[in-house]
Amino acid sequence: APVPSKDVIARSAGLAAAFRAKGLPVVLVNVTGGAPGRNEAPQRGEQPPADWADLVADLDAQDSDIRVTKQTWGAFYGTDLDSQLRRRGITQVVLTGIATSIGVESTAR
């Protein structure tokens, strides 16, 4: 069954806080519009609000967090996430997020 966004955010924030408390890295991913130079049909309807790509304040982003801005469904494609994890010797990840059937699943693949 679907889980309300507020519950996903609260659980994700708790998980991030627990990782930070153990000295483990936290990666925060946001998504922006399409990649520069892409030609797509204009979207119908209203434009998203100016702050739609901002990280949710409840996540309590820290300066030590790894931040990734993606422009596609997965957080690895077209970003430096893979190299950031490899540089730190990270071989296992825990994923959480709102769009589990899109962004989270695409990142896991």
Q: Residue 30: helix, strand or coil by DSSP?
A: strand
Q: Which run of H or E residues covers position 39?
A: none
The CATH number for 5-36+49-108, chosen from 3.40.50.2300, 3.40.50.1980, 3.40.50.2000, 3.40.50.850, is 3.40.50.850
Query: Any idea what DSSP says for residue 102?
Result: I
Query: pLDDT 10s digit of each residue in the chain, 109 long?
Result: 788 999 999 999 999 999 999 999 999 999 886 655 555 555 666 777 778 788 999 999 999 999 999 988 899 999 999 999 999 999 999 999 888 788 888 898 8
